[in-house]
Each structure stands twice: as structure tokens, then as C-alpha cells.
Chain A
Amino acid sequence: MSEGQTALAERVESQSIPFWHDPSKRAIVYQAVALGVVLTLGYYLFAVTQANLQRQHIATGFSFIGREAGFEIGESMISFSATNTYARALLVGILNTLEVAVIGIILTIILGTIVGVARLSSNWLLSRLAAGYIEVLQNIPVLLQLFFWYSVFHDSLPLPRQSMNPLAGVFLNNRGFYFPIPVPHPAYARMGIALVIACVASYFLSRWSRMRQEKTGQTFPAWSASAGMVIALPLIAWAVSGVPTALDSPHLMGFNFEGGMLVTPEFAALLLGLVLYTSAFVAEVVRAGIQAISHGQTEAAMSVGLKPGHVLTLIILPQALRVIIPPLTSQMLNLTKNSSLAVAIGYPDLVSVANTTINQTGQAIEGVAIIMVVYLFFSLVTSAFMNWYNKRKALVER
């Protein structure tokens, strides 16, 4: 706005024009009206539903979540039995959903990046293979992929009594993958603390080395030093605590294996299906991000004498990430939401547990509301985090 225009605007402002001729005030009115209509409609729907439910004598409210659930859940990160409440059953479902979503997102990003970079490789075979992977997995509905992997697991693996036993204490059968875990010991808590300390120390070490390099130009091998700390500190804690080696190994008891740790075929099939499907999309996102950086950047970086590794980490990736992060966020949300397909193959995720709850209590509206709120919360948290990360990585214009 030039100075003349500003002055003009001020003069018009002072002449007290009616508010409907003022676009900014008009906009406020429109928005208030729109909000009012939406709220009124929402209230109307709520009131009608409430009245209808009351008229048909259908129970409403969330008091059911304190009642005894009365059903069992196949796998759970926290202890659960049929005598616990619906609230705890739903919590088990939420944790199961989180488990598959978090592990799935990490694996998807790793696999997707590898395939995306392979797709751009100058090696013809590698790039064709990556292209084939992307085209095939992207274009088969994810539900079919889940059915496929699930039937692969339960049809091709042996029954518990004929389990594969590749290593001592490790068993593989159509009930899952069993492996030994250490018997609880105070040493493991200390190792955890040592790991946290190592991570914090590594963070400060890398900051210090970066600042020193900016000041003096001298480099410090921060990466290898950090890796050394992360491995060595927990090991020292373990050695100091008396080197506990007792293992809780799985063993055949009755129909199934007892003890140790179990990865069920339902979890494995869901994870595999979601990761393979979503990573094909992530691979395309990564490829697009890298191709968005003009080749001139690489040439310029090389001409100032940067090594190829540095060209990637200092020039290409920081710019490519700006293009990659927003679509990557939406793929992460897709994976989380697709995890609700678990009901089809028997993994007890939130939707599966909530369905059972709805069936036993008959309170469908409340049950569906819980599902929606939880997924909405997951999605909003994910996008808030990714937006924050995106801002950090975005090009800062000065």
C-alpha cells in the first residue's frame, strides 16, 4: 500500500460509512452468521437424536464404560481380563492401535525412503525393481493385501506342535513368532536410564561440535562418539549390575506356547500389509521431493568442492524435506486410519474392541463417538507435530 492509499483509507474510515459497505466488517458478520447456523444445526441434530432415543427408551450416556466388560481380548500391552471395565478394554484397544501405528510409521518411512531413492538410482535393475514395487503395491486395495498376508501366515506356517525352531528358544508357527525375553531384573531399569543419559549427552555433544565447527572450522566425529556412548553406557550399567543373563523362554504347554514374547500373526499381517502399502506412496513422495531440487544445485555444490555425501546431507536433503514433509504427514495419517481395517483379520485394535462394546451395550452412538474422538486426537497430534517439524525445516527467508 502506498502512502497515498493509506491516507485515503483512513479518510474513508473516519467518514463513518455504514458497516455493510465495509468489506472487513461484512466478513465478520458473514462468519458470525455461518457459525451461528452451524451451531444451531448441530444443536438441532443433538436435540432430535436425544428426543428420539428417549422416546424409544434407548439408554444414553457414557456410564457404561465403568461396567464390567465381560469379554476377553486376544493381545494386550497392559494386563486385561474379562472382569475389567469397558474403559480399560477401550484403553487396551487404543494402545494396540498406537502400537501398530507407531511401529508402522517408523518402518514405512525407512522402507519408503529406501525404495524412493532406489527408484532414482542410475542402476537400471534397481530402479525398475523399485518401480515395480511401487506400481504393484500402490494399486492393490490394502484390505486385499491384509487378507493375503494373513492367509500366508496361517496357511504356510506349521501348527504349534510342529513349530519351526530356528534358534534355541525361538519358535515360529501359525499362532505366531515366539522368542525369549530376559527375566525382569533391576539391571534393565538402570540400562534404560543409562540410555537416556547417553542420548542427552549425544545431543549436547553434537550441538557443541557444530558450534565449534562454525567458529573454528575444525570438525569433530560427533556421530561415532554418540554411537559409542549409546552402546557403551547401557553395557557398563549392565556389567556393573552383575551381568544378569536369565531368559524367560517360550515352551509348549497344553495347546499353545507359554512364556517369552509373542508376535501374533494378526499383528504381523496388519503391520506388514500397512507398511508395504503405505511405503509405496512414501517412496513416490520421496522421489518427488528429490526430483524437485534442480540438478544445478548438485552441480554448484560439487563445483565448490563438497563431497557427494555432503552434497546430499547439506544441499539436497534440507531442500527436499520441505517438499516431502506435508505429503508425508498425510501418508502417516492414512496409515493410522487404515489400521482400523484390523477388524477384518482379527487384530484387537480400538475399532474391534469398540465394536464388541457397542454390541454388548447397544450404545452405538457413544461407541462410534469414542472411536471418532480417538482417531481425531491421533490425527491432530500427528499433524501438529509434523507442522512444527515442517516450520523448522522450511526455508527461512530473510
Chain B
Amino acid sequence: MRLIKASILVSLAAVLLLAPVVAMGGETLDAVKARGYLTVGVNGGLFGFGMPDEKGVWGGLDVDTGRAIAAAIFGDPEKIKYVTLTTQTRFTAVQSKEVDVLCRNATRTLTRDTDLGLNFGQVNYYDGQGFLVPKKLGVKSAKELNGATVCVLPGTTTEQNAADYFRSNNLTMKPVVIEQNLELNKAFFAGRCDVLTSDASQLAGIRGVAPNPDDYIILPEIISKEPLAPVVRHGDDQWRDIVDYTVLAMIAAEDMGITSKNVDEMLTSKDPKIQRFLGVTPGNGKALGLDEKWAYNIVKKVGNYGEVFERNVGEKTKLGIKRGLNAQWKDGGLMYSPPFQ
């Protein structure tokens, strides 16, 4: 009996003494290196951004962003564990350290950047919300959509953007909110809704899988700004720098004309900017806490931003998306990198 009492007391004391453990931030890079691989939160079902192909090989713009980070750290883009996340679980997974970085077409917004305890990195795709309608509806502009039934995918900024747009134009709408992409598309193609709204990049993908893609058009209005960016936790600035400069390195490489094909020749370039970028002149790697070859590895193993864009979502792919806002600054786009010095 005394034994039982003692053990109860001990367990009670143990529970009481286990004060809330507060973990320290700032050590993500060490944790990743010690583990030997990077964990990346991805979409898993979005063609062109994050989805495994029929052989199970992951591909997409977001996936390549994750691979670039792994290449920068380990020199090997395959040292990754992918974690498929829904729109509902994605931010919690970053907060709870289930993933090191989230590359899952997440839009940067003020509340997400503050309230959620997250930091958004460098934008890797500038998107905007649009409308997909059947041609036979005879609609040429979103302003003609008064009273329309609108299919929406939940869990993003989409629902609020659509409501805002209709409200500010004095139009009414009836949303049909379906949680799964596949069911939503089916309902839209069957005519349950007059219009489907989502990010323009996704609309291109959905139109691509329509029974007859030519029966559908994307309306000219883009009603929101959707800067899609990788996400890290608050409070580890070094880790955030690594993620930021990985995306920026891909952009800078394209700007300087360095591709995965010519990167080895570029090592002998006389241009001091390229020498610094590729680590021939050391300094950048040490500043980030990485190997001096980090940018070389990104370009060699994954490619520059233009290559990654064309491979995953560009005009030769099923999505057929033009560079638009995602072109280099000198071509009229928004992709602009600070100097690597």
C-alpha cells in the first residue's frame, strides 16, 4: 500500500514539475544538417507546383524551390522528405516544426505574416485570382456575373476575395464551397456553377483537364494579388535568409545568364559578379552559414528560375502559362534580385 501511495505521489510530482518547456528558435539549419535531410511541406495535388508524377517522382515549381534549398545545404537536391499538407494543416505544420519550410503555393498576407507566427520568404510565383467560365455562358467580363453561382475551393484567400470583388462592384453571388479539387471540378464541368474562381495558375490547370478545354475561357479580370512564397517560422533569421537567398539565387542566375547547362563554363568567367555568385570568390557562403558552392549547386542541380518556370508551368507544358509578372525585371516582370556581394 505504501508503494502505491509513493508511486502516486511521485507521478503527481513529476506532472507538476514538468514545467512548460520552451524550445529555443534559431537552430533550424543545425537541426536539418544533423538530421541529414530537409522536410518540405508541399501541395501534393497541384499540377505544375507540387505533385508526384506517375512514377512517384516529385515535380513542380514549389517542389523545385524545396530541392534548391536542399541543394544549397547538402549539395544534393534529393535529400528531402516531402510532407503533403492541406490548406488547413499547412501553417500548423510549420508552427509545430513538422516541416522546415513550406513550399505550397501559399499567399503572403499581413495576418499570416503576423498572427500566425510565420515569415514569408522571397516570392517564387506572382499569381492573381481569376474566373473560369464556359464559353456558352456568353460572358466577356467578370462585371457581367451578377447573380452567378460560383464554385470556390475553401481554405485559401479565394472565398474572401470573391466576396470582396462582388461586393465592391454591387453584384451578388452564391458560393458553392467544395473541399476537394476533384469534386469541385466535376461540379463545375457539370454546370452546377456558372463560374469557377481560383488563382489563375490553378484555373489554367483545371481548364487543361476539362472534357473539352476549348469550351472554357479565363476572364480578363484578375481580382487579387497572390504573391506565392515559401514560409518559415518566426524567430530564426538565419534560416529565413537561407530560404530567401535560395529563391533569389535562382532569379539572379537567370539574370546573369547562368543556366544548369553552362554553369561549369561560368566558373571560369572573368566577371567578378559571377565569380562571387558561384563562390569562386568566397564570402557569400560563409555569410549564410553554407558551403561556398551553395549557389553553384542550386543552378547545377535544379536550374535557374527561368528553367524551373518553363519546365513546370511554362508555355510548353500542359498549363501553358506565359511569364507575365514572373518575367525578369528587364523583361517587364517583377523578378528582381539584390546584388550577391
Chain A residues close to B by CB (< 8 Å): 20, 33, 36-37, 40-41, 44, 47-48, 51-53, 55-59, 70-74, 82-83, 147, 150-151, 154-155, 159, 174-175, 253-256, 258, 265-266, 343-346, 348, 352, 355-356, 358-364
Contacts and interface: CB of A to CB of B under 8 A. Distances in A.
B192 A57 contact: no
B20 A58 contact: no
B148 A255 contact: yes
Tell me whether chain A's interface is mostly helix, strand or loop, or mixed.
Answer: helix
Nearest to A58: B117
A272 B194 CA distance: 25
Contacts, number: 144
Given A360-B157, A362-B112, 8 more contacts: A33-B12, A37-B12, A151-B186, A175-B149, A256-B148, A346-B183, A362-B115, A364-B88
B87 interface: yes
Given A37-B11, A344-B178, A71 B147 contact: no
B159 interface: yes
B333 interface: no
Contacts of A147: 183
B177 interface: yes
A361 B111 contact: yes
Pick the most buried of A47, A71, A175, A253: most chain B CB atoms within 10 A of its CB: A71
B52 interface: no
B43 to A, nearest CB: 15
B178 A346 contact: yes
B27 interface: no
B180 A359 contact: no
Contact of B159 (A52, A59, A71, A254): A71
Given A56-B235, A359-B87, A361-B111, A48 B156 contact: no
Contacts of A44: 15, 18, 20
B330 to A, nearest CB: 37
Nearest to A364: B92
A165 B337 CA distance: 62
B12 A56 contact: no
Nearest to A346: B178
Contacts of B183: 147, 150, 344-346
Contact of B116 (A48, A159, A175, A362): A362
A20 B4 CA distance: 11
B84 interface: no
A362 B12 CA distance: 35
A360 B308 CA distance: 31
B283 to A, nearest CB: 33
B163 interface: yes
Given A154-B192, A362-B115, A362-B116, A356 B15 contact: no
Contacts of B178: 343-346
A44 B117 CA distance: 22
A74 B11 CA distance: 52
A344 B174 CA distance: 18
B16 A74 contact: no
B191 interface: yes
